[in-house]
Each structure stands twice: as C-alpha cells, then as structure tokens.
C-alpha cells in the first residue's frame, strides 16, 4: 500500500530534477490562508514542508507518512524547524491528538489528475476501496469545522524515460489495472539498474470522489482560471 522504501534513497534527486515544482506548490498552499496549523498526508522526504516552514515560520506543521525510509530523510531535513512534527502512520489508522485548519496531500496518498478539458479523476496510493474510505474518514476527523482539505493536481501519467540532473536515467511505465493502474518507477546509471518500484493505484471518477468527500462533510470549492496546484474542499 504505497510503500516508497525502494525509491527513498533517490527520491529527492528525481523530484528536484523537475518532477515537482515545490516553490509553485507552496505558493499555491499559501494562497489558501488564513490558517495557522497544517497537516500533510504522505509528506515523504519533507520537501514541501521544508519550503513551507522556511516561508511561513509561524505555522504549526505536522507531517505523516507510511514509509519509514522516507520519514528518516524528512526528519533530518526538518530537524532545524522546531515548529514541524513528523509521525510514522498509515492514513488508514491516522490518530493525532489535534485537528488542523488545513490538511493537504500532494502526490501523497490522494491526488487529482486533470487531463486537458476532461473531468478530473481521483488517484489513490491505496489500491482497495474500503481502506480509502476509512483513510478519508480518519483524515476528515483531523480537519477542523470550517477548515480546508487540499488534494494536489497532476497531469496525466504516461510512459517516458528522461535523464535527471546528474545524468542518471529515470523512467516510468504505466499499465492499466482493474479499478486503476499500476505504475513502475525505475532509475538507471548507464547499464546499472539502481532502483525499481511498483505502486498499484486506485482511481475514482470525479463524481465518486465528490460523493465520498461530501459524506465526510467536505464541499468542493470550484476554481476559476488555469489548472490549479490543488483542488479545495471546505469542511462544514
């Protein structure tokens, strides 16, 4: 279920070679102010939280991740920031002693894919239906009434191979699966295969996603203009 152990040692290298634009993600997060406490689900190696903590030093920040190897890197990265707390938890069993003004997930656990003018669909790192519902219900309990849930937006996935900043070759391959797709991630240095990781993703139509979230008290806040970094839901 979304285990990133194999990729963890190479994650920062791949992501900071242009896979994600962390400044842009944080710009968009900050536009959702006011909030003073924030929770990231699937914080990985802490790249978003580091950028956020630097830019908004007064926020109380919490990160949760399933993969200890990713969190170990996050712990080192975020050690200088006393306002950041990290927890090793699966979102399906999320249990923190606080509720937050804003919770978000970017590429971690849940995100939306927007492909041109087509309707967005929800992608989850959790392959089975029931644990998705349980995880979202646990997450909902950690968002304050009137608070916001932000789920990241990505473009469509496709097969490709591309060199990263140090000349190694990153590649990914997608295959369809029942209720979703399987994504294979690879990193190679010349003939040497350095990393291989496979994740089974579940997908939900936009209608299904809105219904699941509505049942938990979240109302979709439609956006105007260009493709955003997040879709926003407000808790009743």
Residues that bind ligand SAM (CB under 6 A): 1-2, 4, 15, 20, 42-44, 47-48, 64-67, 70, 90-92, 106-109, 125-126
Who's near 161: CB < 8 A, 6+ residues apart?
A: 169, 170, 171
Q: How far is the CB of 190 from ligand SAM (least distance, A)?
A: 26
Q: How far is the CB of 159 from ligand SAM (least distance, A)?
A: 18
The phi-psi region of residue 125 (left if phi > 0; otherwise alpha if psi is between -120 and 50; otherwise beta) is alpha
Structure tokens at 144: 């304050």
Q: How far is the CB of 87 from ligand SAM (least distance, A)?
A: 9
Q: Judged by CB, which is closer to ligand SAM: 119, or 196?
A: 196
Q: Judged by CB, which is closer to ligand SAM: 7, or 168?
A: 7
Q: How far is the CB of 191 from ligand SAM (least distance, A)?
A: 27
Q: The tokens 């992501």 sit on which residue?
A: 15
Q: Judged by CB, which is closer to ligand SAM: 38, or 222?
A: 38
* β 192-205/218-221 pair status: unpaired
* Cα distance between residue 31 and residue 24, in whole Å: 11
Closest C-alpha to 135, from 164, 103, 94, 165: 94
Q: Judged by CB, which is closer to ligand SAM: 43, or 187?
A: 43
């Amino acid at each position: 279920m979304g285990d990133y152990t194999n990729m963890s040692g190479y994650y920062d290298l791949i992501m900071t070679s242009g896979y994600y634009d962390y400044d842009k993600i944080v710009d968009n997060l900050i536009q959702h102010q006011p909030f003073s406490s924030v929770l990231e689900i699937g914080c990985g190696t802490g790249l978003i939280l580091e950028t956020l903590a630097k830019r908004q030093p007064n926020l109380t920040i919490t990160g949760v991740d399933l993969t200890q190897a990713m969190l170990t890197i996050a712990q080192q990265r975020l050690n200088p920031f006393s306002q950041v707390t990290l927890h090793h938890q699966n979102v399906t069993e999320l249990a923190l002693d606080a509720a937050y003004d804003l919770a978000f997930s970017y590429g971690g656990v849940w995100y939306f894919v927007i492909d041109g003018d087509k309707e967005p669909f929800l992608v989850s790192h959790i392959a089975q239906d029931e644990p998705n519902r349980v995880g979202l219900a646990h997450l909902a309990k950690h968002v304050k009434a009137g608070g916001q849930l932000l789920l990241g937006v990505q473009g469509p996935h496709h097969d490709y191979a591309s060199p990263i900043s140090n000349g190694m070759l990153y590649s990914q391959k997608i295959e369809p699966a029942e209720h979703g797709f399987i994504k294979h991630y690879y990193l190679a240095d010349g003939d040497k295969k350095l990393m291989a990781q496979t994740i089974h993703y579940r997908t939900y139509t936009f209608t299904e996603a809105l219904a699941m979230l509505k049942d938990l008290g979240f109302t979709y806040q439609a956006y105007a203009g260009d493709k955003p970094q997040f879709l926003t839901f407000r808790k009743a």
